[in-house]
Structure formats: C-alpha cells, structure tokens
Amino acid sequence: MIPNDSLDTHSAQVDDQRPDKPEEACGVFGVYAPGEDVAKLAYFGLYALQHRGQESAGIATFEGDKVHLHKGMGLVSQVFNETVLNSLMGHIAVGHTRYSTTGSSRVVNAQPAVVSTRLGSLALAHNGNLVNTGELREELIKREFDFLTTTDSEMIALAIASEINNGKDWLEGALSAFTQCQGAYSLVIGTPKGLMGVRDPNGIRPLVIGILPTSPQRYVLASETCGLDIMGAEYLRDVEPGELVWITEEGMSSFHWSPKPARKLCVFEMIYFARPDSVMCGESLYSYRLEIGRILARESFIDADIVIGVPDSGIPAAIGFSQQSKIPFAEGLIKNRYVGRTFIQPTQSMRESGIRMKLNPLKDVLEGKRVIIVDDSIVRGTTSRKIVKALRDAGAKEVHMRISSPPVTHPCFYGIDTDSQEQLIAATKSIEEIRQQIEVDSLAYLSWEGMLTATGEDPNTFCSACFTGNYPIDIPEKVKRSKLILEKSVTV
C-alpha cells in the first residue's frame, strides 16, 4: 500500500503539470463534396482546428451506405497518414479533434461516434457538453440501448437512432432527439443521405458554414472559420442557435427547430479558445483581442518600461495594451512550440532549479526593467506565479500583471474543462490576495463591462457564466454539486 503522503505528493506533481488555463473545447468538421477527396479535406480542416483538442482525432466517411472510420489517440498528424486517408473513401466526411469533457481520455471515447439505425449508420461529432446526461442515459437504457463509450456524444447519437428506429426519417428523428438534449452542443452529423450541422438553442459553441470553390457548389461545416480558410472555402454564415442545416445533392436547406432560440455564445471563445485568425461577430478575434488590450490599458494603466505578453494567447492583448499606453511592446518570453503533453515527470532537482519546458525569459530584454505582463486569464494561479518568478530571476525590477478577462469565479458546465470552484483562485481569494500569492507588484483584471463592450454586440447574447455564475441553461442540482461547492462567493 502507498502511504497517503506519497499519494498527496504524486497528486501535487501531476496537478503541477496541468495547464493553468481552462481546457479547450473540441473541434468538429464536416464536408459534403461528391467527386472531391473528402477525407483529405477533413484532415486539413481538423489540422486547422487542432488547438481545440489534442487528445484524440477521428474521421468517418460515407461511400453510399458504407461507412469508413478511423480514429485514435494523439494529434491529427499522428492519427492519420496517406495510407489511412486513402482508405477513407466517399462523398461525405465527418471529423473531430477532442479534448475530453464528458468521458475520459481513451480511444473508445474518441469521435466521431458511429451508431447503426434502420436507415443506415450515422456518424456524429460533438462540441459541447450536455447537462442532462444522467436522465438521458436512464431513458436510453429503458429503450434497451447498449453503450460503447462514456460520452454524452454517444447518447445524442443513440437518441437520434432511437427516433429513427421508431419510424422517423433522418430529419424528423434528429429534430425529435434534440428536444431531449439539454446543454451545449454544436454537432456535425453524417448520414448516407446527407450532412447535418446543428447548434443548441443558445448557440454556446460556434459552428460555421463554408462553400468550396467547386462547381457544382459544395459545403463545409467547421467549428471556426480557420477550418475553412485552410482549404480555400468561402465563409457563408454561422449556423444559427436552434438551427439544423441539411446538406444533400439538392443543396442546403435550413430548419429552425427551437421555439425560443436565444444566442449565448461563450465569450471565452473570443478571449482565448478560438484561433486569432478566426472570425466571430464580424471581425477577426485578433482585432477583438487588440481591443480588450486597449480597454485594459485605459482601465488599469501603470507606468512601466515594457509590455510583454504570455505566448501565444496573451500577445494580441499585450500589443493592444502597448498601443493604448504608449509603452513599448517587447518579446520577453520565448515559447517552445513543440512541447505537447508529456507524461514524463521532471525530477525533483529539475523542478527545484525551475525547469522551463514551455516558456523561457529573455534576460537582456527584461534586466532592470519595469515590466507589464499581459495574460488572458488566471485559473489556479500556479503558472502565473512561476512566470513571475522567472521574470524576476531574469532581472526584472518590477512585475505588473494585467489580465484581459475578468476573474474566473465559476466553473463551466457547457464543454470547457474547468476545475471545481474551490480550485479557482478568484473564487476563494480577493484580487489583493491573488496579487500576494503570485508575487506581483500590481494586478488588475479587465472589467466585465469592458470585455462585452469590445464585442460590439448586445452583451445579453453572450454566456459569461464563468465570470458571473449566471448560467443560461439550468443545471441539475446533482451536476451543480460536482463543481459548485462554495456556498458563498468572494467579493473581488
């Protein structure tokens, strides 16, 4: 038996290696393009969406009634090669790159989820998280379904299969199943007859439609516009909240199936998750992140010698802060872009000497300087403290931290893997207490109003529950208790 203190030490070491960020959602992709190499189109689409999930990847293609499927653990480039892609024949492809939110990180849980129905197989790729998985699972068990995975995505696929097996066609079956699903879901669903793109009534996770430069016109679905750009597809529009688009040889048709759609796009998609070259709300996210940096500078200016950003996600806001404050922007931290997840733990002596696998400071840039460092968020504070120490060790005279989002005080239940509430540093500590813990000279966050004003859209059309605790979709008490364990929030 391992002593408890050994278990605690191991747990702390594993936790020490976790990214101190909310973990990305998943990336979904679909293409309807008879006559084109749909598997390779899906591969490159997923390659562009790799930032949304690095645990597993998969592609399913439809060749008439036959489904070809390949999925595995690892990055898109590790799971697929030319031989595999050449075996994925057909005119429809559905792809997925995964970070696990519901269901552990195992190959059986990799997507797309493929299930059989009386009309043939369907392949489903899901970005988001249901909040009624318990009830839905019980209902499907009553209907005598067996589960191959532990994911809510398979439950959605089985709910559709159940409706189809009871006599409905593809569209009727899908629309009926969605009324049984509560939570966040952007879906790409392949069938022998056509391709579907679906968003939940609140549109919490993004999904866009593109047109390939072919004749006749062919369609692409992707989580972000960067998934269209890589293959030269033209952005057409977003799939709307509570909408199903149905793409067949006849073209694309639209069905608004929700009686009360109300957009609540995750604002963290704009701050951090989506790639800066993707377009949301009519502008690139690089432009949005520049603007929140400018607002942050207006709200919390402090005199300094240089502004630096935490690569890569903090860089645009840092540039915006520099533009507004007139303090020069500099690169003070260099990122090793070839570091993925590693299960090789550094030795204790490495840890004590400050092993820097991902970020390394530039001493000649930082030495003797008053430094403002901009990052997009602080979740637990562990990484922030290490970065601040590295800057001071490199000779920074002062370190002032600015965060281009409000304090994260509540966990997400809609497809982002955040810690339970007690592990979110801003849920249990004031800004001054956080400043002391991460050992900076000053600390300031972007205001909630500034974050939403910068979108140029109605603030009520965004989900910002991780900052406010105002969840747009009711969360069952049992699910709430798994993460919301604090009885009262701390005023910050």
| 375 annotated ligand binder | yes
Per-residue model confidence (pLDDT) at position 488: 37
Most confident among 133-142, 360-369, 481-490 (mean pLDDT): 360-369
pLDDT in tens, 258-270: 999 999 999 999 9
Structure tokens at 474: 């009711």
Please tell me the least confidently modeled range out of 182-191, 306-315, 482-491: 482-491
CB atoms near residue 356 (< 10 Å): 15
CB atoms near residue 100 (< 10 Å): 18
Burial of residue 84 (CB within 10 Å: 0-12, 13-18, 19+) is middle
Sign of the four-CA dihedral 270, 98, 179, 247: positive
Active site residue 181: no
Residue 154 neighbours by CB under 8 Å, 6+ apart = 113, 115, 147, 148
Select from 235, 257, 262 the least CA-distant residue to 246. 257
Interatomic CA distance for residues 29 and 168, integer angstroms: 26
pLDDT in tens, 341-352: 555 666 766 665
Rounded mean pLDDT of the chain?
89
Please tell me the least confidently modeled range out of 162-166, 227-231, 337-341, 344-348: 337-341
Per-residue model confidence (pLDDT) at position 8: 31
Percent of the residues in the chain that have a pLDDT greater than 70, as a whole number: 88
pLDDT in tens, 191-208: 999 999 999 999 999 999
Q: What domains lie within the chain, and their CATH numbers?
A: 27-263 (3.60.20.10), 287-336+351-468 (3.40.50.2020)
Q: Which residues pair with 208 in a beta bridge?
A: 222, 238
Residue 15 pLDDT class (50, 70, 90 cuts) = very low
Residue 137 pLDDT class (50, 70, 90 cuts) = confident
Selected catalytic residue, list 26, 181, 226, 281: 26
| 56 annotated ligand binder | no
Per-residue model confidence (pLDDT) at position 349: 67
pLDDT of 43 strictly over 90: yes
Residue 485 pLDDT class (50, 70, 90 cuts) = low
Contact 228, 150 (CB under 8 A): no
Interatomic CA distance for residues 400 and 68, integer angstroms: 53
pLDDT of 236 strictly over 80: yes
Select from 67, 46, 48, 49 the least CA-distant residue to 58. 46
pLDDT of 7 strictly over 50: no
Contact 26, 54 (CB under 8 A): no
Per-residue model confidence (pLDDT) at position 477: 84
| 266 annotated ligand binder | yes
pLDDT of 110 strictly over 90: no
Contact 397, 405 (CB under 8 A): no
| 281 annotated ligand binder | no
Interatomic CA distance for residues 212 and 233, integer angstroms: 4
Concatenating the DSSP letter of every residue in 296-344 gives HHHHS----SEEEE-TTTTHHHHHHHHHHH-PPB---EEE-TT------
Interatomic CA distance for residues 246 and 151, integer angstroms: 25
What is the reported pTM? 0.89
pLDDT of 300 strictly over 70: yes
Interatomic CA distance for residues 377 and 440, integer angstroms: 15
Per-residue model confidence (pLDDT) at position 422: 86
Select from 189, 268, 183, 258 the least CA-distant residue to 221. 189
| 412 annotated ligand binder | yes
Kindly give the residue spans of alpha helices, DSSP state H, lying in 166-306.
170-178, 226-229, 267-268, 285-299
Interatomic CA distance for residues 204 and 206, integer angstroms: 7
Per-residue model confidence (pLDDT) at position 150: 73
Mean pLDDT of 213-240: 96
Interatomic CA distance for residues 198 and 399, integer angstroms: 46
